[in-house]
Chains A and B, each alone.
Chain A
């Protein structure tokens, strides 16, 4: 019986006979008792092998790594791709975790701000860093985020930059500034991301703000107003996820807020689609790996994190997903892989120079109250 509690096989305490009888007695109660029955089924039984379950974003790993890790470690590894929206995922697990129940996954991949929220709610477990020696390979610019000093609760999975993506055929010119998003010539051909921090961050930078210093809603109000006006004017065609890349290819978007890795993945095959970090700056973000409360598989979690923080394995993932790796030493390993991977090592979008890095900004922490105002306003603008 595959409820989300499947992962608890082998990790929960074995049920007493009495408890089992009580639960199975409920079978007769019909439909309402089915959940109890399912819970009983899925929690019984225990096996000796270590298990691990990682619920990640779709298409966010290469074909080999999962099997290679399972083979090397002997861990029964379940890799799923159910994480496709921070907020949606959060509302799915909220009723469970806040009532002290467990979820199927041991590791999740929330974006940094969501990881921070989860930490604040007490949903994360402290990583056993002693068992993750490779964590030392974490890029120095990503170490010790303000919300998780010493990376005790999270390690980045992949990182990237939000900037402007454009189709040169549709724009007819190079794009350099955030203001281009609001240029009348692109009316109805502009896309923005549903990921609030990336979209809002760029717009605020265009207004000359430093996003790491924004801590209240009032600091960002101008940015929201600007986005709302553009939406009402019909300037903005759609708010999208990664699918903006197709709107660009199809010619629906001339210019939009986008992520470096996606444009890179289209690669040399579609030279019309380009990516630029505008002169005002770009927002840097990262998705994390976090160990969720209630999971008993700490050793396997550490083993997995250690595995992917080995530059050899990290490089294999980078070669496939083409986002910036948080792991130091990936560049050298890419060169060793040769072929297309070696070319990636030279790509400025994957390995930006220092001047570019200096133009990147990242969001600071927002208090829960302030974040609620941000979310509410953004959701009312996107109209859904």
Chain B
């Protein structure tokens, strides 16, 4: 900032900072509760009132069989659906950003529609279709539903990431005699891979946490969120908090890892650039 700050301006700056810190606190308040209550020793069926500290729950995170089964169902659904969605969504993104063609505007609009429909509409309408087709609810219907809402997310994310991509690189490779396939897999793909991975991770996370759409299309398949929902009315074991905390810490670890790798890469790039300058 140029110029001298007046007291008023400084107060303004501070106020904004305070608002941001309060915002962060707000974001973390329930997270603290979740982690703290994973160490609770509930008396009855519900892990909601603090009773006393114990490490027992962490010693036996998988002791609630139904919950553990549900977690694995969710992981499986998330893995399968996010891979399918990553492939299909990336193809759409490539098509939209690589080529100019008739109807791309309509496709754009079509892609956005699922994102602007409330989940309860997506879930109930898909369930209506399955009911009318006589399709049994289960793994297949849940995966179909998840891919359906993930495709748009992947397409939009990947498209945003490759918006600035220099397609002449591919052309250059082909001018040097590479086949289009080879040019794509050797040049384009590695460069847009980070974008695809990010989109894949996003859709994985969306799938594992989806409740509303799954609720309508799962039949008697029980995913992790569905198990929690059912339990919330009958009994909430502390293992729910343990597994949730584990997922949380795992994702933090992954994120920190990614940040470290990124910053190391940047440093390497920076030092490499320096060397070259010399």
Q: Do chains A and B touch in the complex (CB under 8 A)?
A: yes
B131 located at the interface, meaning its Cβ lies under 8 Å from any Cβ of chain A in the complex: yes
A360 at the interface (CB under 8 A from B): no
Q: Mark B130-145, 1 if CB is under 8 A from A, else 0.
A: 0100111111110010
Q: Which A residues touch B49, using CB under 8 A?
A: 246, 249-250
A240 to B43 Cα, complex, angstroms = 19
Whether A35 contacts B135 by the Cβ 8 Å rule is yes
Interfacial chain B residues near A194, Cβ < 8 Å = 233
The residue of chain B having its C-beta at the shortest distance from the C-beta of A103 within the complex is B220
Q: Mark B48-84, 1 if CB is under 8 A from A, else 0.
A: 1101000000000000001001000100000000000
Q: A240 and B48: CB pair below 8 A?
A: no
Per a CB cutoff under 8 Å, which of A4, A101, A242 touches B233? A242
Does B46 lie at the interface of the complex (its beta carbon under 8 Å from any beta carbon of A)? yes
CA separation between A249 and B49, bound complex, in Å? Answer: 7
Closest to A273 in B: B44
B197 smallest CB distance to A (angstroms):
25
Q: How many of chain B's residues touch chain A, expressed as a range?
A: 20 to 34
Give the contacting residue for A58; candidates B51, B136, B235; CB below 8 A: B235
In the complex the two chains form, is A267's CB within 8 Å of B43's CB? yes
- Most chain A beta-carbon neighbours within 10 Å: one of B43, B48, B134, B233: B233
Q: How far is the CB of B226 from chain A (nearest CB, A)?
A: 9
- Interface status of B232 (Cβ within 8 A of chain A): yes
Q: Please report which residues of chain A, range 34-80, place their CB below 8 angstroms from some CB of chain B when the two chains form the complex.
A: 34-35, 38-39, 55, 57-59, 80
Q: Please, which residue of chain A has its CB at the minimum distance from the CB of B222? A: A82
Which of B140, B222, B233, B236 sits near A35, CB closer than 8 Å? Answer: B140
Min CB gap B60→A, angstroms: 11
- Contact partners of B136 in chain A: CB under 8 A: 3-5, 35, 39, 95-96, 101
Q: Are A243 and B66 in contact (CB under 8 A)?
A: no
Given A81-B66, A85-B230: A2 and B46 within 8 A (CB)? no
A92 to B49, CA, bound (A): 33
A39 and B233 CA atoms in complex are apart in Å by 32
Binary B-proximity of A1-41 (CB < 8 A = 1, otherwise 0)? 11111000000000000000000000000010011001100
- Give A244-269 as 1s and 0s: 1 = Cβ < 8 Å from B's Cβ atoms: 01100110000000000010011101
With most chain B CB atoms within 10 A of its CB, the pick from A59, A80, A103 is: A59
Is there a chain A Cβ closer than 8 Å to B234's Cβ? yes
Q: Is B35 an interface residue (CB 8 A)?
A: no
| B134 in contact with A99 (CB, 8 Å) | yes
Give the residues in chain B near A81, CB-CB below 8 Å.
Answer: 66, 230
- Chain A residue with the shortest CB-CB distance to B43: A269
CA distance A265 to B134 in the complex (A): 43
Q: B174 in the interface, Cβ–Cβ < 8 Å?
A: no
Q: Which of A38, A85, A245, A266 contacts B138 (CB 8 A)?
A: A38
Q: Is the CB of B131 within 8 A of A95?
A: yes
The residue in A5, A81, A242, A270 that gathers the most chain B C-beta atoms within 10 A of its C-beta is A81
Is A241's CB within 8 Å of the partner chain B? yes
Inter-chain contacts of B235 with A (CB < 8 A)? 58-59, 242
Question: Which B98-154 residues have a C-beta within 8 angstroms of A?
Answer: 131, 134-141, 144
User: How many whole Å from B137's CB to the nearest CB in chain A?
Assistant: 7
Pick the contact of A84: B69, B231, B237 (CB < 8 A).
B231
Measured CA separation A101–B144 after assembly (Å): 22
Residues in A neighbouring B144, C-beta threshold 8 A:
31, 34
Does A310 reach chain B (CB closer than 8 Å)? Answer: no
Given contacts A38-B138, A250-B48, A265-B44, contact A3 B233 (CB under 8 A): no
User: Roughly how many angstroms separate A81 CA and B65 CA in the complex, as a whole number?
Assistant: 9
Least CB separation from A264: chain B residue? B44
Contacts of A266 in B (CB 8 A): 43-44
Contact across chains for A84 and B140 when beta carbons are under 8 A apart: no
Q: Residue A333 at the B interface, CB < 8 A?
A: no
CA–CA, A194 to B144, complex, Å?
32
Q: Which of chain B's residues have a CB closer than 8 A to the CB of A245?
A: 44-46
Verify if A104 is at the interface (C-beta below 8 Å from B).
yes
Judging by beta carbons under 8 Å apart, are A241 and B233 in contact? Answer: yes
Q: Which chain B residues border A93 with CB–CB below 8 Å?
A: 220
Shortest beta-carbon distance from B208 to chain A in Å: 17
**Residue pair A82, B234 in contact (C-beta under 8 Å):** no
Q: Of B134, B222, B234, which one neighbours A241 at CB under 8 angstroms?
A: B234
| Residues on the A chain within 8 Å of B44, using CB | 245, 262, 265-267
Q: Give chain B residues whose Cβ lies under 8 Å from the Cβ of A55.
A: 220
Q: Which B residues, 195 to 246, have Cβ-Cβ distances below 8 Å to chain A? A: 219-222, 230-237
Q: List 28 A-B contacts (CB under 8 A).
A: A2-B73, A3-B136, A5-B138, A34-B144, A35-B138, A35-B141, A39-B136, A57-B234, A58-B231, A59-B237, A80-B66, A80-B69, A82-B66, A84-B234, A85-B230, A92-B219, A93-B220, A95-B137, A96-B136, A96-B219, A103-B220, A242-B45, A243-B232, A249-B49, A265-B43, A265-B45, A266-B44, A269-B51
Q: Could you tell me which B residues sit within 8 Å of A by CB distance?
A: 43-46, 48-49, 51, 66, 69, 73, 131, 134-141, 144, 219-222, 230-237
Given contacts A58-B66, A59-B45, A245-B45, list 6 more A-B pairs with CB under 8 A: A35-B138, A35-B141, A82-B220, A92-B137, A242-B233, A243-B234
Q: Which 6 pairs from chain A and chain B are nearest by CB? A: A241-B233, A84-B230, A59-B235, A3-B138, A246-B48, A81-B66
